[in-house]
Amino acid sequence: MPEVPAPNEAVDDPVETAQQVLPVLVDMPFHGALDSTLSYLGPALPPGSLVRAPLGHREVLGLVWDAPSDDLVAPGQTLRALLGTLDPLPPLPLAWRRLVRFAASYYQRSLGEMALSVLPPELRKLDPASLTRRLRRKGGLGSAPAPTDAPQTAARPEPTEDQAQALAQLAALQAREPGGTALLLGVTGSGKTEVYLRRAEEALAQGRQVLVLVPEINLTPQLEARLRDRFPGRLLVTQHSGLTPAQRLRHWLAAHLGQADLVLGTRMAVFSPLPRLGLIVVDEEHDASYKQQEGARYSARDLAVYRGRLEGVPVLLGSATPSLESWRHAQQGRYALVPMRQRVGQGALPQVRLVDMTQQPQAPRGQEPPPLAAPVLAALRERLERGEQSLLFLNRRGFAPVLHCPACQWKSDCPHCSAWRVFHKLDRTLRCHHCGFSDRVPRACPSCGNPDIQPVGRGTERLEEQIGQWLPGVRVARIDADSTRLKGTLEQQLSAVHAGEVDILVGTQMVTKGHDFRRITLVVAVNPDGALFTTDFRGPERLFATLMQAGGRAGRDAEAAARSELWIQTWNPAHALFQSLRRHDYESFAAAQLAEREMAGLPPYSHLALLRVEARTPEAAQDFLALARRDAMAWVEAQAAEVTVYPPVPPYLARVAGLERRQMLLESGSRPALQALLRDWLPGLRGLRAQTPGVARWALDVDPLGI
């Protein structure tokens, strides 16, 4: 191996086949420092080139970076030579590299981990020769359809007045500020998708690529179908974790090579390299799924906005119930607010009825109250008589959330978690929903032998059973994570609902998203109060969005819309959230929530970072955070920075799968101050682990969704 005089200097010898020292990123989290490249010898390659690099005893995928930084290579150290270049591929473009650089520094991950983790995994296995073969075959796209002679845009409906206005507003915005973000506020059924399609059409007509992000791809086959219908002559590819590794690579290549016109995908798609990017759409922008919950915990929605600004490309965020972060940006004029207040086709939103559960007759002593109040049952019967369908929304699967022994007060706890085990009657198990621990339900109390142990509370299994008893002969279907575990059963159950083979559908959150039920005219939120009083400050925001979305399942057929209803069983009918919901008034809800957040100094009025740790003992977890807190507080004092470092606390679930969890919150009104603290603090955290044996893992979450 050749000797080099010093790192990071090109070897100035043209005879020596112009070997240079190249800064290369590999997938290594260990280089905690934010900017860290490894130095290799190789031919002159532009930044963004993908290479094969020797690393220890293996050969890994590497990415030539723009500049070396923080490199610990010693002067005179022998550098190894790159093993090859994936040169049939164009280098990843500057805009892509800048996005990765920002994400790595903002979410405090190493550049190498960030960059390599957002490339298709299959790319790691590719050597230059097999890549060349792959690209040569079928023009590089395998089974993807080649551009056809079909019209590039199919017939499209006349925009409604709302849509026309929104489109005019968006066109004006784009002319004024090409990299600007617009927030499209439109209730379910207001025709947001048509606005996306029109904007996409325009970008496509200018020869640009369109990136469409959705929270979960399996919930949005309609959107994919509509894009394909509307743009039959264009190449659309998807990007999500459900693809096989080969498909994902093929789709990614189509995007990167500029062959794909439309990329539709989940959060990972925000990192698709798109040489002709012209528009980014983020549908249901409030959805928590946009936040990655492991590894680099990025928010794809926030990165989409950043990317738009970076590339001078418009970003369109759409929601009926925007995140309060986006809403505040719109209020401040940082995002353009584009309201769409009418449902298409004069369809009315479902009427919201609050059922005051405190006014319902009390159940006899010792008996549990019936699951549905008398007026709700009457409303259900009415639908049955009219041959319409109803949806009972209960966000709790299983038969009962806990079993209880009235004699000795035993409860069905989980031996590994600080949680109850849920009674699943169908397979007679007690299951922990957090660690998966499961065994047969005991015949008698395991503590005192009392044979009369009782279910407490109600899940979807029990509700399904009780409905059958209350309304004999009714056809009930249950859709939740348990009933749809087998592949294809969800589709099967949904088609039974669509075919009218079901009168009442019982379901969890799963059924509230995306599905276009035409015959449902009644939605009942059976027990939504829990979310009102959670410790999570975003609980109300999520509940409001969920109930609006659930209500949106009713009356999707314009003819039935007039008599569609959303009933809410609540012990807190006066709660401001329900009062806003009754009027479908997102704006009053948001105003009230923002006032509360401002008083409490919570986002979007402050910025948060959360350090979480899991350890074998509470002491180890506590010690780790205590040391971390000491360092953070020392930094804050030295810098006289406005950052609050809160004491460590147990999270809602303090023990999961035998590991003790603790967390510590950092809060600041200034994002730069918080970022500066994180940047200086994190390298030291990696060393702390050695001082606190028993720590299994720790993670920093910037802009956490739940605290």
Task: Point out which residues bind DNA (CB under 7 A).
Answer: 7, 28-30, 38-40, 53-58, 71-73, 77, 79-80, 697
Task: Find where tokens 């990317």 sit.
Answer: 307
CA 619/CA 662 separation, integer angstroms: 10
Q: Is 417 annotated as a binding residue?
A: yes
Phi and psi dihedrals of 542, rounded to 5?
Answer: -65, -40
Task: Kindly give the residue spans of alpha helices, DSSP state H, lying in 312-365.
Answer: 324-331
Tokens (6 digits) for 50? 């993908």
Helix H or strand E segment including 310: helix 300-311
Q: Kindly state the smallest distance separating residue 121's Cβ from DNA, in Å.
A: 11
Helix H or strand E segment including 670: none
Residue ranges with strand state E in 151-235: 181-186, 209-213
Q: Kindly state the smallest distance separating residue 248's Cβ from DNA, in Å.
A: 18
Q: Which is nearer to DNA, 53 or 520 (CB)?
A: 53
Q: Which is nearer to DNA, 257 or 682 (CB)?
A: 682
Q: Which is nearer to DNA, 124 or 575 (CB)?
A: 124
Q: Which of 348, 353, 280, 355 is nearest to 311 (CA)?
A: 280
Helix H or strand E segment including 604: none
Q: Is 445 annotated as a binding residue?
A: yes
Q: Which of 632, 621, 636, 630 is nearest to 689 (CA)?
A: 621
Q: Which is nearer to DNA, 44 or 168 (CB)?
A: 44
Q: Kindly state the smallest distance separating residue 546's Cβ from DNA, in Å.
A: 35
CB 316 within 8 A of CB 283: no
Q: Is 414 annotated as a binding residue?
A: yes
Q: Kindly state the smallest distance separating residue 21's Cβ from DNA, in Å.
A: 9
Q: Which is nearer to DNA, 117 or 412 (CB)?
A: 117
Tally of CB atoms within 10 A around 530? 11
Q: Kindly state the smallest distance separating residue 662's Cβ from DNA, in Å.
A: 19
Q: What is the DSSP letter of 320?
A: S
CB 301 within 8 A of CB 285: yes
Report CA 629 to chain centroid distance, whole Å. Answer: 29
Residue 555 vs residues 194, 279, 344, 646: alpha-carbon distances, Å: 19, 32, 12, 47
Q: What is the DSSP letter of 511?
A: G
Q: Is 469 annotated as a binding residue?
A: no
Q: Which is nearer to DNA, 233 or 684 (CB)?
A: 684
CA 91/CA 311 separation, integer angstroms: 17
Residue 473 contacts by C-beta under 8 Å, 6 or more apart in sequence? none
Residue ranges with strand state E in 170-214: 181-186, 209-213
Tokens (6 digits) for 63? 């990415």
Q: What is the DSSP letter of 268?
A: G
Q: Which is nearer to DNA, 20 or 564 (CB)?
A: 20
Tokens (6 digits) for 141? 């796209």
Q: Which of 216, 163, 231, 240 is nearest to 194 (CA)?
A: 163
CB 657 within 8 A of CB 417: yes
Q: Kindly state the smallest distance separating residue 40's Cβ from DNA, in Å.
A: 5
Residue 678 vs residues 98, 297, 299, 629, 684: alpha-carbon distances, Å: 20, 14, 17, 12, 10
Q: Kindly state the smallest distance separating residue 414's Cβ from DNA, in Å.
A: 25
Task: Find where tokens 């401040």 sit.
Answer: 332
3-state SS, residue 402: strand
The burial class, CB within 10 Å (0-12 / 13-18 / 19+), for 101 is middle
Q: Kindly state the smallest distance separating residue 72's Cβ from DNA, in Å.
A: 4
Q: Kindly state the smallest distance separating residue 217's Cβ from DNA, in Å.
A: 25
Q: Is 436 annotated as a binding residue?
A: no
Q: Which is nearer to DNA, 124 or 226 (CB)?
A: 124
Q: What is the DSSP letter of 663?
A: E
Q: Kindly state the smallest distance separating residue 132's Cβ from DNA, in Å.
A: 24
Q: Is 432 annotated as a binding residue?
A: yes
C-alpha dihedral over 240, 241, 246, 251, to 10 degrees?
10
Q: Which is nearer to DNA, 423 or 698 (CB)?
A: 698
CA 298/CA 701 separation, integer angstroms: 9
Q: Is 435 annotated as a binding residue?
A: yes
Q: Which is nearer to DNA, 26 or 379 (CB)?
A: 26
Q: Is 665 annotated as a binding residue?
A: no
If you write DSSP's letter for every residue of 133-181 in order, what string do you get? HHHHGGGGTTTSPPP-SS-SS---PPP-HHHHHHHHHHHHHHHH-TT-E
Q: Kindly state the smallest distance separating residue 653's Cβ from DNA, in Å.
A: 22
Task: Kindly give the residue spans of alpha helices, DSSP state H, lying in 499-584.
Answer: 539-551, 558-561, 576-582
Q: Kindly state the smallest distance separating residue 176's Cβ from DNA, in Å.
A: 46
Q: Kindly state the smallest distance separating residue 163's Cβ from DNA, in Å.
A: 48
Phi and psi dihedrals of 630, rounded to 5?
Answer: -55, -45
Q: Which residues contribute to the annotated binding site for Zn(2+)?
A: 405, 408, 414, 417, 432, 435, 445, 448
Q: Which residues contribute to the annotated binding site?
A: 405, 408, 414, 417, 432, 435, 445, 448
